[in-house]
Amino acid sequence: MDFITGLPPIQFKGEVVDSIIDVVCRLSKWAIFVPTRETAGARETAQKFFDEVVCEHGMPQSIVSDRDSRFISNFWQTLFHLCRTKLKMSTAQHPQTDGQTEIKNRTLEQMLRCFVADHQKDWPQHLKMLAFAVRTSVHKSTGFTPFRVVERRDPLTLPSCLCPHPSSSEALQDLKERVDIVQEVKDRLERARERAAHYYNQKRREEEFKPGDWIMVHKNFFAGAKTLKGDQKKLAYLWYGLFEVDQRVGKVAYELVFPEGVRRYPVLHVVWLKRYLF
């Protein structure tokens, strides 16, 4: 269980959300994404967890998380002690329990941040579709989709529903948009997995930046989006910039100062960044 913060604030179901609660089953890899506020406390986070996780799947035997203030609060600790759920906290020196977990966390955050960058005005309403795309993608560690592991069958996916039949153009367009979202997420997920695996296999430590540093951004962050004015041939380069670091967001993301014409939310996972050496 983790938080992805620093997202564009959006009014959604009566509250302003700017973060995602990311919950993944360690056995099946079933993913649940819940919109939330970065300032939400332990009680509010627990309520969302019970509504979206417990009510749908039951109480977990254990929860692995970092030492976020919400997770170490007396309320959170006591609540799950009463529920007989074991809380496993990672340490600051070893935030990941193994390589598979490291790749999984890196992959999901990259995919989510890139998707949000392309859907800044309505990203919360797409989270269910994002989760569906993740659940219907084959996971390398199991050899199956999370959906098949949990349900013991494959779902009837949206593309297979697009057979020719009489339909209103509005309904057909809506369905096609949903199909496109699922495919977009699966494509981004695969690219993120490849990049995360590359970083892990190189045994690279996450580089840290500070405000005022100048960095380059990997071209895949901008893949498929109109991001810069002028010649789009710049995307042919592996890294491009320069971009200035404005501030750190959470543990592994940074807000950059993007010039006018870059139509992306400026908070990026560190995996997309490289220090520029003058």
Distance of CA 171 to the CA centre of its chain: 29
Domain assignment present for residue 86? The answer is no
Query: Which range among 15-29, 123-137, 220-234 shows the weakest confidence by mean pLDDT?
Result: 220-234
Domain assignment present for residue 239? The answer is yes
With residue 26 as reference, give the H or E element that holds it: none
**pLDDT number for residue 228:** 45
d(CA 69, CA 63): 15
pLDDT range class, residue 46, cuts 50, 70, 90: very high
User: DSSP character for 54?
Assistant: I
**Residue 271 belongs to what domain range?**
214-275
Kindly calculate the radius of gyration of the chain based on its CA atoms and give it in whole angstroms.
20
Flag whether pLDDT at 232 surpasses 90: no
Flag whether pLDDT at 164 surpasses 50: yes
Question: Reduced to 3 states, what is the DSSP secondary structure of residue 116?
Answer: helix
Give residue-wise pLDDT tens across range 47-57: 999 999 999 99
Are 244 and 256 in contact, with CB atoms under 8 Å apart? yes
Domain assignment present for residue 242? The answer is yes
Are 157 and 136 in contact, with CB atoms under 8 Å apart? yes
Domain assignment present for residue 31? The answer is no
Domain assignment present for residue 158? The answer is no
Instruction: Check whether the bond before 172 is cis (ω within 30° of 0).
Output: no
Domain assignment present for residue 229? The answer is yes
**pLDDT number for residue 227:** 45
Domain assignment present for residue 228? The answer is yes
d(CA 258, CA 242): 9
Flag whether pLDDT at 65 surpasses 60: yes
Flag whether pLDDT at 235 surpasses 50: no
Please state the domain count of the chain. Answer: 1
pLDDT range class, residue 205, cuts 50, 70, 90: low
Length of the chain: 278
The dihedral sign for the CA sequence 185, 20, 15, 226: negative
Strand partners, 256: 245
Are 112 and 20 in contact, with CB atoms under 8 Å apart? yes
Give residue-wise pLDDT tens across range 66-92: 888 999 999 999 999 999 999 988 654
**pLDDT number for residue 143:** 85
Angle between helices 127-135 and 99-118 (to 10 degrees): 140
Which of 150-159, 178-187, 196-205 holds the top average pLDDT? 150-159
Which of 124-128, 168-172, 251-255 holds the top average pLDDT? 124-128
Can you read off the two tokens belonging to residue 259? 């010039």
Percent of the chain clearing pLDDT 70 (strictly above):
77
User: DSSP character for 114?
Assistant: H
With residue 256 as reference, give the H or E element that holds it: strand 253-257
What pTM was computed for the model?
A: 0.66
Tell me the average pLDDT across 120-136: 89
